[in-house]
Amino acid sequence: MKFTVAIDGPAAAGKGTISKAIAEVFGFGHLDSGLLYRAVGIKTLEHGNGILDPVAAEDIAKHLTPEDLRRDDLRTGLAARAASKVAVLPNVRGALLEFQRIFARRDGGAVIDGRDIGTVICPEAEVKLFVTASAEIRARRRFEELKQTNADLTLDSVLNDVRARDKRDSEREMSPMVPAEDAVLLDTSELSIDAAVAKAVAIINERLEQGRD
Ligand code: DC
């Protein structure tokens, strides 16, 4: 069976949690496409001793290995910033396209979360969700998550970071972060994550039922 759930939206809106829950409920494979950009970003920084060289980034994207995706420094702020910078490069996006498309159509179903899954990677996805929340609420969630390990962090700096990344992600020329026309919007500022998961599960069940008719 081929069945793709495309989940897009900004950072810290709850995409990851919702995607994992869906994968678990339906037994689908899950790909967090942000990890691909994070791995390219951090490896490119290392390669250039702190400088992001676009040519090196393309080459690194072309030769990314499963091991690169298992690095334990991909969730850092440094990796996030580097990711959003290499993600504006068309050649990097192009190099990562095929892998994501193949994953999306794997047997047994797939959930992919990112920014352009429903619009560019898999416009034919059976279910498209756009998960969002206000910048303030997303910054608060990120702050609560990161403050345990970083005592110097302030809510203001996290909010500035969230806004800067949103701007880069939504204003870039290639594959900007926008909801697909046929995406269902899930706003987690008003909805708990549990309620958002329940809504997503109901939408997928309905679509699976249609496929059986
Ligand atoms: O979801 P995340 O925070 O791990 O994403 C890291 C960066 O990668 C983010 O700035 C946007 C970019 N990204 C993208 O451009 N396209 C995707 N499909 C996934 C992530």
Closest residue CA from atom 3 of ligand 1: 11
Ligand 1, atom nearest to 172 Cα: 15
Q: How far apart are CA 35 and CA 80, in angstroms?
A: 9
State the DSSP code for 185: E
Q: Whose CA is nearest to atom 2 of ligand 1?
A: 34
Pocket of ligand 1 (CB under 6 A): 11, 33-34, 37-38, 80, 83-84, 87, 114-117, 165, 169
Annotate 112-135 with three-state secondary structure.
EEECCHHHHHCCCCCEEEEEECCH
Of all protein residues, the one whose alpha carbon is nearest to atom 5 of ligand 1 is 34
Per-residue model confidence as pLDDT tens for the chain (213 residues): 899 999 999 988 999 999 999 999 999 999 999 999 999 999 999 999 999 999 999 999 999 999 999 999 999 889 999 998 999 999 999 999 999 999 999 999 999 999 999 999 999 999 999 999 999 999 999 899 888 888 899 999 999 999 998 998 899 888 888 999 999 999 999 898 899 999 999 999 999 999 776
| The predicted structure's pLDDT at residue 93 | 96
Query: Of all protein residues, whose CA lies closest to atom 13 belonging to ligand 1?
Result: 34
Q: Indicate the pTM of the whole model.
A: 0.92
Residue spans of the domains in the chain: they are 4-212
Q: Can you give the pLDDT at residue 21? A: 97
Q: How many residues does the chain have?
A: 213
Nearest CA to ligand 1 atom 20: 34
pLDDT for res 104: 97
For residues 122 and 112, give the distance between their C-alpha atoms in angstroms, rounded to a whole number. Answer: 9
Fold topology of 4-212: Rossmann fold (3.40.50)
What pLDDT does residue 9 have?
A: 95
Give me ligand 1 centre to Cα 22, in Å.
Answer: 20
Q: What is the pLDDT of residue 18?
A: 97
Query: Residue 47 in contact with residue 60, Cβ under 8 Å?
Result: yes
Residue of 33, 76, 86, 175 with the most ligand 1 atoms within 8 Å of its CB, for mutation: 33
Distance between Cα 211 and ligand 1 center (Å)? 31
